[in-house]
Structure 1
Amino acid sequence: MKTSDKGVIIPQQAFDWYDEYAHGDIDRRTFLSRLATLSAMGVTLAGVTAALTPNYAEAEQVSFNDAAIKATYELFSSPNGYGEGKGYLVLPKAVVDGASAPAVLVAHENRGLNPYIEDVARRLAKAGFIAFAPDALHSLGGYPGNDDDGRTMQRTLERDKIVADFQAAAQFLHAHPSVTGKVGIVGFCFGGYLANELAATIPDHIQAAVPFYGTPPTSDMSQIKGPIMLHFAELDQRVNGTWPDYQMKLDEMQVPYQAFTYAKVNHGFHNDSTARYHEASAELAWQRTLEFFKQHLN
């Protein structure tokens, strides 16, 4: 069991079931009915549901009004995807004043461009990178304001076209007049898969990739150049089961990579809006990520 930041004691089964629900393996009714079976353990359905539901207002680390950054929404062409993409572009103040900087593409989870991912983009800008976070749901009107509807919407999209949209976003960054020519990608959950996928499909446009608990590319891996930094959660059996074969392939191709597994944490441990968040592991993974980008993009 784990006590959440909201004071709710959550059995590990609840995290596992939530992961199944969040990735479409079970529906909401099944998820809630399973949670109801934990009542004998003194766990309330309302308490667990509240703890596992994102609270983005509490999780914001960098304000959109922060004087050290400038954030806008920008459109880009995606002829092989859904025609047009839209993303959240965040510039460091030095870039606003005329400097150039390397860029990082931020790939969201399986629910669209939610406030957590926008905050990640702002954190990158505070660290000196130009950050761009596309919204895969743009063709459907954009992130709807809640994750449940966002997940439902994203399931209706074609994965190959989402990939094409993010490839186009990487090209958009490369063409940005303030970008030095170096572009990396960081992604979380489905975005972790996108980070791996873009490293495989457009290696000349991605100079460094950091997937957080992401599954391997589904495309041909023979073009991967790396470097890649991979973050895994020890309790994330679904994603971790895909790593040995991927690792073997990277080793065979002599792709430079680093892989870290964080003890006793769940899938989604970097997302500070839910009870799956683990502050020490999230901060360590993030500092490693920033240093990795500074090493390979500057």
Structure 2
Amino acid sequence: MVKIVSLIVFVLFLSEANAQDFARRQLEASPRHHEWVKVKSGEREVHCFVVFPEVSKEATVAIVIHENRGLTDWVRSFSDQLAKAGYIAVAPDMLSDFSTDYQKTSDFPSSDDARNAIYELAPEQVKNDLNAVQSYAAKMQAGNGKTVAIGFCWGGSQSFRFATNNDKLKAALVFYGSAPESASEIERITAPVYGFYGENDSRINSGIPATEKMMKEAGKIYDYVIYDGAGHAYMRQGDAPEELGDNKKARDESWKRIKTILSEI
């Protein structure tokens, strides 16, 4: 049993490492403009990775909220892919100014350390940081004033929560993240919420019926798709060049849906 568990952990490690290698290569080959900015949030500064599309007019800004491993190369790669589709991407590092020693995700010794730190973040700090980033994004000179949130895993949950705390968002795209559990939070939502879920993700999917019920009772828009055969984190796994299965199919179908949703905002 120990050997089996060790093998599973090793395979997952290789999967994540391969995803990051592919992401780095994609970023290095990208012709789009990348830059780092610091957004003031109270007494703190939030490091943000920004990618601009090659377009002739102002664009909608997507705030990309990372997974529970922090602002990884794959999240930056996804942001670049958003810019390729014609949108400005702003990806905040929610581990910014975590401590004296760890000022951003890349300062942590490992992705496990970054994950552990993520779960130490105070909800109020996360809310304030995201609201500060939204304010910055809405005022970007190259932007059209419209902002949306797109989050994955932990970031998916934060994207849903973001919609309860900011009435200026035009949409919240939630990738395999949980929803707020109280009706009072749901009542505050003004933007449509779009869910993206993998079939083989019962931990997250088990909460969908209750979420759907609350959203319906509150008169909110909750439009979701469960992708056949896909697992948790299928967007990252489906990005790998060697992935040819259900995760890849779900990733491709999700990209079509993302572009449709954003084109209608």
TM-score of the aligned structures, taking structure 1 as reference length: 0.77
Distance 2:86 2:228 in 1: 30
Q: Is the 8 A contact 1:124 1:130 kept in 2?
A: yes
Task: Say how many residue pairs are matched.
Answer: 252
Instruction: Assess, with a 3 A threshold, how the Cα gap between structure 1 residues 234 and 277 changes in structure 2: closer, same or farther.
Output: closer
Matching residue of 1:290? 259
Instruction: Assess, with a 3 A threshold, how the Cα gap between structure 1 residues 277 and 149 changes in structure 2: closer, same or farther.
Output: farther
Q: CA deviation at 1:249?
A: 1.2
Instruction: Assess, with a 3 A threshold, how the Cα gap between structure 1 residues 247 and 45 changes in structure 2: closer, same or farther.
Output: closer
The alignment status of 1:172 with 2:136, answered yes or no, reads yes
Q: Is the 8 A contact 1:64 1:122 kept in 2?
A: no
Distance 1:226 1:151 in 2: 29
Give the secondary structure class of the aligned counterpart of 2:126: helix
The alignment status of 1:248 with 2:210, answered yes or no, reads no
Q: CA deviation at 1:61?
A: 7.3
Distance 2:125 2:104 in 1: 15
Matching residue of 1:14? none
Aligned-pair Cα RMSD in Å: 2.4
The alignment status of 1:261 with 2:226, answered yes or no, reads yes
Give the secondary structure class of the aligned counterpart of 1:263: strand
Aligned counterparts, 1:1-298, within 5 A: 36-37=3-4, 44=7, 48-55=11-18, 56-59=20-23, 62-67=26-31, 69-79=32-42, 83-94=44-55, 99-140=57-98, 141-144=103-106, 146-203=110-167, 205-217=168-180, 220-272=185-237, 278-296=247-265
Q: Is the 8 A contact 1:229 1:289 kept in 2?
A: no
Distance 2:128 2:134 in 1: 10
What per-residue deviation string (whole Å, max 9, x for no partner) do you get for residues 165-222 of structure 1? 112111110121221111111100011011101111102x210111000111257111
The range that moved more, 56-65 or 245-254, is 56-65
Distance 1:149 1:38 in 2: 20
Structure 1 regions of 5+ residues with no counterpart?
1-33
TM-score of the aligned structures, taking structure 2 as reference length: 0.86
Distance 2:121 2:131 in 1: 16
Higher-Rg member (1/2): 1
Instruction: Assess, with a 3 A threshold, how the Cα gap between structure 1 residues 210 and 61 changes in structure 2: closer, same or farther.
Output: farther
Q: Is the 8 A contact 1:85 1:135 kept in 2?
A: yes
Q: Is the 8 A contact 1:102 1:183 kept in 2?
A: yes
